[in-house]
Amino acid sequence: MVILKSTYEIEAIRKACQVVAECHRTIAPLIKPGITTNEIERIFEDIILKHGAKPYTKGYKGYPYATCASVNDVIAHGFPKDKPLEEGDIVTIDTVAELDGWLGDSAWSYAVGKISPTAEKLMRVTKECLDLGIAQAQPGNRLGDVTSAIQRHAESNGFGVVRDLLAHGIGRDLHEAPNYMHVGKPGKGLRIKEGMVFTIEPMLTEGTYLMSIDPDGWTARTLDGKLAAQYEHTIAITAEGPQILTEQ
């Protein structure tokens, strides 16, 4: 069942979310050729700890790091590495912070130096999908209004929408109900209500939306080796509409 949150609880979740937002704000100007995803990992973990928060993904179902660092054809859950990022790469950094028992979750794709027009378009359209989804997350609407807006925009631009990784409710747990794919039909699915807190986190692909998992048990890649991008916010549904708790 979906756990509705009070305005007081939403403010507590926002505090955890703002730790994650600070991580992204800090890293954005630092991502350039030569930086390693292990360096990004350390910067994120330092910021999280400095706020008295916990890097929630470290140890979550055995995941070993505070961040996921997903380069090029990696869709999600890539491990931070010592390999320097190269001009033309795109990298998605995802993290979850726990503050006072509440969680905040946000992923962001970054360009490394100058990237190809295709990579640029994939990143732009993925961010637009997130924004279009959020705009549909109004009390009284249904989840299908959110997901169909995402799917329509992605596919009309020639991109795939990953089905195998889901968005989720969030609060004291990382994956609360509802768990949902970023595809659907308008007017279908769960009705969106004031007090819901959930992520919207479309993963778009240049080619096929099908994925494989590496032998490490985590790294999710596009089956055809083409690019993937992701933007994720944690949002709260209020009487006035959606609020972006992880707003940078």
Binding residues for Co ion, rule: CB under 5 A, are: 105, 199
Closer residue to Co ion in complex, CB, 128/232: 232
CB of 117 to Co ion, least distance (A): 29
Least distance (Å) between residue 67 CB and ligand MF3: 9
Q: Is 94 annotated as a binding residue?
A: yes
Question: Locate tokens 């692909």: which residue?
Answer: 205
Residue 24 marked ligand-binding: no
14 binds, among Co ion, ligand MF3, none (CB under 5 to 8 A by kind): none
Among Co ion, ligand MF3, none, residue 176 binds (CB under 5-8 Å by kind): none
109 phi, psi to nearest 5 deg: -95, 140
CB 221 within 8 A of CB 212: yes
Closer to Co ion by CB, 37 or 199: give it. Answer: 199
Determine the 3-state secondary structure of 9 from DSSP.
Answer: helix
The number of CA neighbours under 13 Å toward the Cβ of 13 is 32
CA distance 24 to 172: 22
Question: Of 12 and 174, which CB lies nearer to ligand MF3 in the complex structure?
Answer: 174
Smallest gap, in angstroms, from Cβ of residue 232 to Co ion?
5
CB 96 to ligand MF3: min, Å: 5
Query: Does 176 carry a binding-site annotation?
Result: no
Q: Which is nearer to ligand MF3, 118 or 179 (CB)?
A: 179
For the bound state, the minimum distance from the C-beta of residue 235 to ligand MF3, rounded and expressed in Å, comes to 13
- Between 186 and 190, whose beta carbon lies closer to ligand MF3? 190
Strands (E), the chain: 54-55, 67-71, 74-76, 90-99, 102-111, 160-161, 167-169, 176-180, 197-200, 203-205, 211-213, 220-222, 228-230, 233-238, 241-244
Work out the number of other CB atoms within 10 angstroms of the CB of residue 56.
21
Q: Omega into 186 within 30° of 0, i.e. cis?
A: no
Contact of residue 57 among ligand MF3, Co ion, none (CB under 5-8 Å per partner type): ligand MF3
Which residues are known binding-site members? 77, 94, 105, 168, 175, 201, 232
